[in-house]
Chain A
Amino acid sequence: MKDEIKLMKGNEAIAHAAIRYGADGYFGYPITPQSEVLETLEALMPWDSTGMVVLQAESEVSSINMVYGGAATGKAVMTSSSSPGVSLMQEGISYLAASELPALIVNVMRGGPGLGTIHPSQSDYFQATKGGGHGDYHLIVLAPSTVQEMADFVALGFDLAFKYRTPSMILADGIVGQMMEKVVLPPQRPRRTAEQIKEQCPWAVTGREGGRKRNVVTSLELDSAVMEKNNERFQRTYREIENNEVRFEARFTEDADYLIVAFGSIARICLKAIEDARKEGIKIGLIRPITLWPFPYDAIRDAARNVKGILCVEINAGQMIEDVRLAVSDSVPVRHFGRMGGIVPNPQEVLDALKKDFINK
């Protein structure tokens, strides 16, 4: 069968991919630069085709709590937003993690802090990978760098969320959300039947059909000894995810004298800088973490073994650099280069930064 190639924005690809995954529900609230997700879903009217529920909520707080309610019933439900809206969702995300519920959250990042700017940024790295809400929890965080990955990570995000019963997040940025490029959409999958949900999610709140014992989804436990046990169970899941689900892309690392670590759209700009540098005889490799949590510490440590320096390029003030430093300890100098306020650096700026830090010192 010929691939179905389309030209569309990353945000639109998310919407199409959600329907084609067989998602049961989307609950969202408009915010730039990701409103096309909700707009596309409303225009496609999937409730008439697959039966998917789409609802514009009154706030991001309600969106994430609708996701919480839907996820508690075993349905594949999601939301999307951008940075300020995702801040509002942190309470609900913490509840999802604590109640061990699968769900997909998309953050198409814009510059902050505060209302900030509508232009692209990667400054929610800490929020996404280190917790964000209250309590000891992690999200599985996927960082797409292409519109294709925006589409593909919907299925991956849902599948991982259901596999580990924990929410996952697509941490995109305004560039990959707004950029149009070619994308091969996945084939349409059927939504799971009530029977399949019962089998896959015996914990789901679906009504006590057949007189089964009642199911209760709650994050509350006042007995500290039990609550500690619950936390230990969460942590075991996180260790399992760390062992099994690390994903990254390595380019030109075999003979590299320098290493760039970058995620999302900026990794593509770095790749251009790396190609330009090769023409000048400067050998730079690239590690692009695809899962920001779990973070590819080992891959970076291995790739850094023979390099003279690591440049961490992020569209923020330096957040992922802390994980890169953890990966390599003090074995090699690590520097950060980034722009803020919604400004995206070009390949020349990246290369100049690397030269300034490591070559023309």
Chain B
Amino acid sequence: MKREDIIKPENKVYSRPRLLDDNIMHYCPGCSHGVVHKIVAEVIEELGLEEDAIGIAPVGCAVFAYNYIDCDWVEAAHGRAPALATAVSRLHPEKVVFTYQGDGDLAAIGTAETIHACTRGENIVIIMINNGIYGMTGGQMSPCTLEGAKTATTPYGRRIDLNGFPLRVGNVVSILDGTCYVTRQAVHTTAAVRKAKNAIRKAFLNARAKKGTSFVEIVGTCSSGWKMSPEKSNKWMEENMFAHYPLGDIKDTDKTE
């Protein structure tokens, strides 16, 4: 069989989502953002939401998310994305509004906005990439940095007595009455990517159905910040991050009702 016989439209099993555009991504090799961007673009496209989806970008590595996913975006101040999303969603209830944030943005400076958007049960999707570090500013400790992890501001490893405990944000927002779906996922294997995509799809459907706030935490890697190869980052994440941040659904009101 010749190459030309194989490359035919009917044999196509995969294509890049239409909403992921041609701009060259600034993300480092091994970073999880690219995969999650792809999933978000696929879900928006597959649900037919490209005219209805409005994204709120964070401050952090994903600040330029609006350069890659082809929907309307507002770039928020640090941590404030859920406040912007609240207003956009209330003023445009026919739209599907999502935030895309990192753990530094959401779990430190943005805790008040997050907790209260979730408490009010805003019909929005909150996606948080938890890589336990501030990537954009050069690898400082975030609230989600694991004990012992070396960062630019914990050069000898995070100490509980000095810096407190790593924050499980998903568990925190799961106890708030306004959240309908809280899950923790990863994108380090094909199987994990499939699960994460299902979670994000469910979250977007919840927002469309006005079920309340959906919170999707994705445990991800930061090879540059962690100072590990992409391959080693995945291994370290499995061995260490998943122990503190176990994967799976934390809350799903569809199943408890």
Q: How far is the CA of A95 from the CA of B81 in the complex (A)?
A: 13
Residues in B with CB closer than 8 Å to A210 are 51
CB under 8 Å from chain A, chain B span 165-193: none
Which of A59-67, A109-117, A146-154 lies at the interface with chain B?
A59-67
Given A58-B113, A77-B87, A218-B66, A65–B76 Cβ distance below 8 Å? yes
B80 pairs with A209, CB closer than 8 A: no
Of A55, A59, A70, A220, the contact of B75 (CB 8 Å cutoff):
A220
CB under 8 Å from chain A, chain B span 110-154: 112-113, 115-116
Q: How far is the CA of A217 from the CA of B77 in the complex (A)?
A: 12
Q: How far is the CA of A344 from the CA of B85 in the complex (A)?
A: 42
Please name the residue on chain B nearest to A62 by beta carbon. B83
B84 pairs with A68, CB closer than 8 A: yes
Residues in A with CB closer than 8 Å to B101 are none
A69 pairs with B51, CB closer than 8 A: no
CB under 8 Å from chain B, chain A span 11-64: 24-25, 27, 53, 55, 57-59, 61-62
Q: How far is the CA of A95 from the CA of B73 in the complex (A)?
A: 15
Residues in B with CB closer than 8 Å to A346 are none
Interface class of chain A by DSSP: mixed
Task: Please tell me if B41 contacts chain A, counting CB pairs below 8 Å.
Answer: no
Number of interface residues of B (CB under 8 A): 32
A92 pairs with B63, CB closer than 8 A: no
Which of B32-40, B88-96, B211-219, B223-231 lies at the interface with chain A?
B88-96
CB under 8 Å from chain A, chain B span 32-77: 50-54, 56-57, 63, 66, 70-77
B86 pairs with A91, CB closer than 8 A: no
Q: How far is the CA of A207 from the CA of B63 in the complex (A)?
A: 19
Of B54, B75, B84, the contact of A207 (CB 8 Å cutoff):
B54
Residues in B with CB closer than 8 Å to A215 are 72-73
A208 pairs with B72, CB closer than 8 A: yes
Q: Which of A66, A75, A207 has the most CB of B within 10 A?
A: A207
A72 pairs with B88, CB closer than 8 A: yes
Q: How far is the CB of B188 from chain A (nearest CB, A)?
A: 29
Residues in A with CB closer than 8 Å to B85 are 69
Residues in B with CB closer than 8 Å to A59 are 112
Q: How far is the CB of B25 from chain A (nearest CB, A)?
A: 15
Contacts A68-B80, A77-B91, A91-B77 aside, 7 further interface pairs with beta carbons under 8 A come to A59-B112, A61-B113, A67-B87, A70-B91, A206-B72, A208-B70, A209-B51
Interface residues of chain A, those whose CB is within 8 Å of chain B, are: 24-25, 27, 53, 55, 57-59, 61-62, 65-70, 72-73, 75, 77, 91-92, 95, 205-211, 214-220
